[in-house]
Amino acid sequence: MGSRMANNLIEDGYNLTVHDVDHNAMKIFSERGILTKESPFEVADSSDVLITMLPSSNHVLDVYTGRNGLLSHGNTLGPWLFIDSSTIDPQTSRKLSATIADCSLKRKRDGFEVPAMLDAPVSGGVLAAQAGTLTFMVGGLEEAYVAAKPLFLSMGKSTIYCGGAGNGSAAKICNNLAMAVSMLGVSEALALGQKLGIAASTLTKIFNSSSARCWSSDTYNPVPGVMDGVPASRNYDGGFASKLMAKDLNLATESAKEVGLEFPLTSQAEKIFTQLCNDGHGMKDFSCVFRHYYPGNDEL
């Protein structure tokens, strides 16, 4: 995700400095003449704006506050803006935002006396990251959001301001909760229809012309042979990994507990995707839940 987002910024004329724990990923950029650094702190030391895209809350905390992290050398910072596009829990986003707001700037910027942070997770997956058609859900200071909007639109097609710090992360968790439950419902319905004698392609047409229509049926259909260009058409390779969906559902269930809510569908979805990972399918796209639980139901 991050490398594809970086490519779109480069194509729009931004000067980038890149760091990744994967040295092969950095080599690809350095061979193109893009400056690379050996640590997050080195990137921060030479940048005005920082963008991070990481797998989990622990990774984010390590990159920001760990050894040689973005904030590891005192509370006077070079970058005036930090943008985190990772999908993490809102509490971590709010904690980091407050930490950054307590710092000062080496170089003052018009309108900003202290550095700001935006939590800006995305929807659209790897294909949208490559095509520059992501949707950004953004939380944080509204003035920082307005200033950063050209950056978002270099990487995506739309950007939605969600309110204060952590609200972008909260929106993303809610989005993925709905996406997971929807995919499970569509998978079950298509499997049942096939067992009852209705072709998946026929039932998909019915869904997409009626009240069952949703992203899981009309854009990301989970049945092999029904739709071209989706993970189901290439053995569920690429796309949004099942292990990441399991992680996001865990974030949703933990967030629900913290606010005193019980979500039985979310809890069951988390168990299903966790089991999918335990069965060795964590790197497959999350729509492989159809093939795993309903084998032999491919469209012919």
Q: Which residues are catalytic?
A: 172
The number of angstroms, rounded, from the C-alpha of 177 to the middle of its chain's C-alpha atoms is 13
**Quick check: 206 and 212 in contact, CB under 8 A?**
yes
Q: Hey, what are 21's tokens?
A: 């724990």
Give CA separation, 204 vs 62, 117, 150, in Å: 44, 42, 38
Q: How many CA atoms lie within 13 A of 288 on its CB side?
A: 27
User: How far is residue 170's CA from residue 166's CA, in Å, rounded to a whole number?
Assistant: 6
**Quick check: 26 and 58 in contact, CB under 8 A?**
no
**Quick check: 39 and 19 in contact, CB under 8 A?**
yes
User: How far is residue 78's CA from residue 65's CA, in Å, rounded to a whole number?
Assistant: 15
**Quick check: 173 and 87 in contact, CB under 8 A?**
yes
